[in-house]
Chain A
Amino acid sequence: MRRRMWGLAVLLLLGMVVGGLLLGGPPAWLTGGDPTWARMVDDAKLRVGIDPSFPPFDQLDDAGAPAGFDVDLAQALAARWGMRVEIVPISFDSLLDAVKATRVDAVISAMPYDERQTRDVTYSQPYFEAGIRLVVRADSPIRDTAGLAGRRVAVEWGSAGDMIARRLQRSDEIALEPVLYDTPQDALTAAASGDVDALLIDQVSLRLAQGAGAPLVAVGPVLESNPYVILTPRKAPQLAAAVNEALIALSDDGTLAALADRWFGSAATPAAEEGLP
C-alpha cells in the first residue's frame, strides 16, 4: 500500500512537471531565470533599441535626441519599474538582430508582428494597430465596405489600400470607383473635403490627419492588420511578462491614448468607432 502511494505521488509530480512544461514552457528556476530582467533590476536601467526615422513614433528632436511616441512609451514602462531608460539608436534592418543578440533589452520602434520570428524573440501584445481602415467623413452614412458600392473611394496609388480596393472590386464584387492619389496626404485631403465618399488608408496616416483636424473617422473592422509590438529577448520571460502587464495597465489608465494625442494631436472626431489609440 505504501509503495502504491509513493508510486502515485511520483506520477502526480511527473504529471505536474510535464503539464507545466506543455502549458507555460520551462520554469525560470529550471532555465537559470531571466538574466535580462536580473541585469535590468541590478542596473535599474532599460536599454531600448529605436530606429529614429519613423515620425511620430521614432524621430530626432531639434537637439538631435531620440523622441516620439515610442520613446515616451519606453519612459512610461521604465517608470513603472523604477528604472531609467537608455535609448540605443539602431537602423531598422538591424533592430531584430539587436534584440536577438541582447544588445538591447527591448525594441520599441513601431515594429510589426512577425510570426516567423517567434522562435528568436518574444513579441508583446500590440500597443498600436497601424493596419488599413475604411475611413469616411464623420457625417457619412457609410459604415462598412458593403456600403462602398457606387461610391468614389480614394486610395494612395500602389499602396495596401489600393490593393484592398482592387480586391473588393474583384473578389467581393463591390462596384466601387477607385480614385488614385500619388500621396496619402492628397487622398486624406480629398476625403476630408468631400471630393470622394470614402478612403482606404493606414491608421498612422489617418491618425496624423485627425490630429491636424480632419473630420474623418475609421469605420468597420481593420481590413488588413499591422499591429506594432514590443520585442524582447527569447530567454527573458520575466521581462516579457512585465511588458505585457505594463501595456495593459498603460492602456487602462489612459496613458497610451494620451501618448497618441501628444504625438498625433487630439482627434476632433473619434480615432475609430472602437476607440483605437
Chain B
Amino acid sequence: MAFWLSSPFQRKRLLLAAGALALLGLLVLAAMLWRNWNAVALGPQHSVQTINPKVGIHTRLTDEVEPWKIKRTWEMVREMGSPWAVEYFPWAYVEGARGRFEWAHSDLVVAHAARQGVQVVARLGFVPEWARPAETTPLYLDAEHFADFGLYAAAFVARYADTIDHVIIWNEPNLALEWGFQPPDPVKYTEMLRVIYPMIKAANPNVQVLAGALAPTNAPPGSAEAMNDLDFLRAMYAAGAAPYFDMLAIHAYGWHGDPDEPADAGAINFRRAELMRAIMVENGDSAKQAMITEGGWNDHPRWTRAVHPAQRIAYTLRAYQIADAEWPWLDALCLWVFRFPWDQKSYQDYYTFVRTDFEPRPIYSEMQGYTAGELLPAAGANSAGDQP
C-alpha cells in the first residue's frame, strides 16, 4: 500500500477517485432531496358532496409529473362535486420492459384520488415497444400479445384492488387511428376481451370490466378510417363478446346538438347513448349497467363541431340531469376533459373545465353550483337562449 501511494501519479489517481466518489454521493443526496421536496402529503380523507351521484369527469394525468398538480387536480375534481373520474394508465408507461413494472406514477395518481374520495375508472391500453412489431404505433396489438396485455391488466387490478373497481379495455377500437392504423375489427377486439377478461377476474373477481368505449361515428361501410359504432357493437355481440365484459363504456359527444335532441342512428348527438343501450337490450344484456366514459361539448370559437360557451354550460348541466333522472342503466357520466398538463393550442383546450394553471373556467364554477344544489345563473333572463 505504501508503495502504491508512494508514486505521485498514483496518489493523484486516488485523489481523483475520491473526488469522483464524493461527487457521486452528492448527486445521490441531491436526487433524494429533490424527491422529498417534490413529495406531497396525501392529507386527510375526504368525500365528494354532490346532489347527483352520477357526475363524473375524464381527467388527464398521464403526463402530469408534478405530485402537487396531481393532488390539486383531485382536490378540484372533488370540489366540483364529481365522485367519478376516468383516468388513463398506459401499459407502456408501467411495463416498459417485459415483466418489470414501474408503478410509482400510477400509485401517486390512485392514492391521491382515493384520498379525495374520487372513484377512478381506469382506462387501460397503449402497447409497449416489446409487445408489438417495429414501425407500429402504441395502439397496435397482435393477438399473440393479448395475454401480455392481460398480464398487465391483471397486475393492475390486483395492485389496486382496494381502490379501483372499474377498468376499461382499450379505447375507441372502431377507429383505425386507435387500432394501430389497421381496419377496425370487432371480431379481433372480441377475441382480445375473451383472452383478457378471465385473467382480470382471476386477479380481482370484484372488478368490473368495461368494454366498447367506441367513438360515435357514421362512417360508411368499408371505410378505412372508422366503423360505425352501432354496427361495431352489434358485431361484437355477434362474435360472442357478451360473457367477456361486465359493463359497456359509451362515448357520448354532443357536437352541435342539445342533449334533448332525440336519438337518431343517422346523427351524432348525446342521446346516441340510448341507441347503444338498445343494442345491449336487444342482445339480452339489459342486466348490465353502462358508463359514459367520454363525451360533452366544445366551445372553441372556430372549430366546426363547437357550440357557444353559454350553450356548452347549459348543455353540460342538462346532460348530467338526464343521466341522473332518465337513464337508470347508467352509473356515471364522465365528460371529456377536466384539464390538460399543458395547453394543446387546438380545439381540445375548449373541452377543458380547468385551465392548465388550475384557473377554473366558468363551466367548472357552474358545475360546482349545480352539484351543490344551487339555482343556475339566470343568463336566460338577460337574453334568449337555452337553459336547462
Contact = CB atoms under 8 A, between A and B. Distances in A.
B382 A179 contact: yes
B313 A158 contact: yes
A163 B359 CA distance: 9
Interface stretch (B21-29, B90-98, B280-288, B360-368): B360-368
Interface in B272-325: 299, 301-304, 308-313
Contacts of B360: 163, 166
A159 B302 contact: no
Nearest to A195: B382
Contacts of B378: 180
A167 B359 contact: yes
A162 to B, nearest CB: 4
Given A156-B309, A182-B385, A163 B361 contact: yes
Contact of A166 (B313, B362, B382): B362
Interface stretch (B121-129, B329-337, B342-350): B342-350
23 contacts: A53-B302, A53-B304, A91-B304, A93-B303, A112-B345, A114-B345, A116-B342, A116-B345, A117-B345, A156-B309, A156-B310, A157-B379, A159-B362, A163-B362, A166-B362, A180-B377, A180-B378, A180-B379, A182-B382, A182-B383, A183-B310, A183-B385, A186-B382
Interface residues of B, number: 32
B373 interface: no
Contacts of A156: 308-310
B312 to A, nearest CB: 6
A114 B385 CA distance: 33
Contacts of B304: 53, 91
Interface in A150-203: 156-159, 162-163, 166-167, 179-183, 186, 190
A245 to B, nearest CB: 27
B205 interface: no
A91 B361 CA distance: 27
Interface of A: 51, 53-54, 91-93, 112, 114, 116-117, 156-159, 162-163, 166-167, 179-183, 186, 190
B359 A180 contact: no
B379 A92 contact: no
A116 B342 CA distance: 10
Contacts of B385: 182-183
Contacts of B359: 163, 167
A157 B309 CA distance: 6
A163 B304 CA distance: 23
A27 B272 CA distance: 57
A180 B312 contact: no
Contacts of A114: 345
Given A92-B302, A182-B308, A182-B310, A158 B382 contact: no
Contact of A93 (B342, B347, B366): B347
B133 interface: no
B104 to A, nearest CB: 27
A180 B384 CA distance: 11
B382 A181 contact: yes
Interface of B: 299, 301-304, 308-313, 342-343, 345-347, 359-363, 365-366, 377-380, 382-386
What 9 A-B pairs have minimum CB-CB distances, sorted nearest first?
A: A158-B309, A182-B385, A186-B383, A157-B310, A180-B379, A182-B310, A157-B379, A114-B345, A162-B362
Given A157-B310, A158-B299, A182 B384 contact: yes
Contacts of B312: 158
A91 B304 CA distance: 10
B383 A181 contact: yes
B309 A51 contact: no
B376 to A, nearest CB: 10
Contacts of B313: 157-158
A180 B346 contact: no
A157 B362 contact: yes
B129 to A, nearest CB: 25
Nearest to B300: A92
A208 to B, nearest CB: 13
A92 B377 contact: no
| Residue of B310, B342, B345 with highest tally of chain A CB at under 10 A | B310
Nearest to B378: A180
Nearest to A205: B301
Contacts of B301: 54
A92 B312 CA distance: 21
Contacts of B379: 157, 180-182
Given A158-B312, A162-B309, A180 B363 contact: no
B17 to A, nearest CB: 35
Nearest to B316: A158
Given A158-B310, A163-B359, A54 B302 contact: yes
A186 B312 CA distance: 17
B345 to A, nearest CB: 4
B21 to A, nearest CB: 36
A201 to B, nearest CB: 12
A186 B382 CA distance: 8
B313 to A, nearest CB: 5
Nearest to B313: A158
Nearest to A182: B385
A167 B363 CA distance: 14
Nearest to A158: B309
B309 to A, nearest CB: 3
Nearest to A112: B345
Contacts of A117: 345
B384 A157 contact: no
Contacts of B347: 93
A240 B139 CA distance: 39
Given A158-B363, A163-B362, A116 B343 contact: yes
A53 B306 CA distance: 13
A18 to B, nearest CB: 29
B308 A51 contact: no
Nearest to A113: B345
Nearest to A91: B304
A172 to B, nearest CB: 13
A112 to B, nearest CB: 8
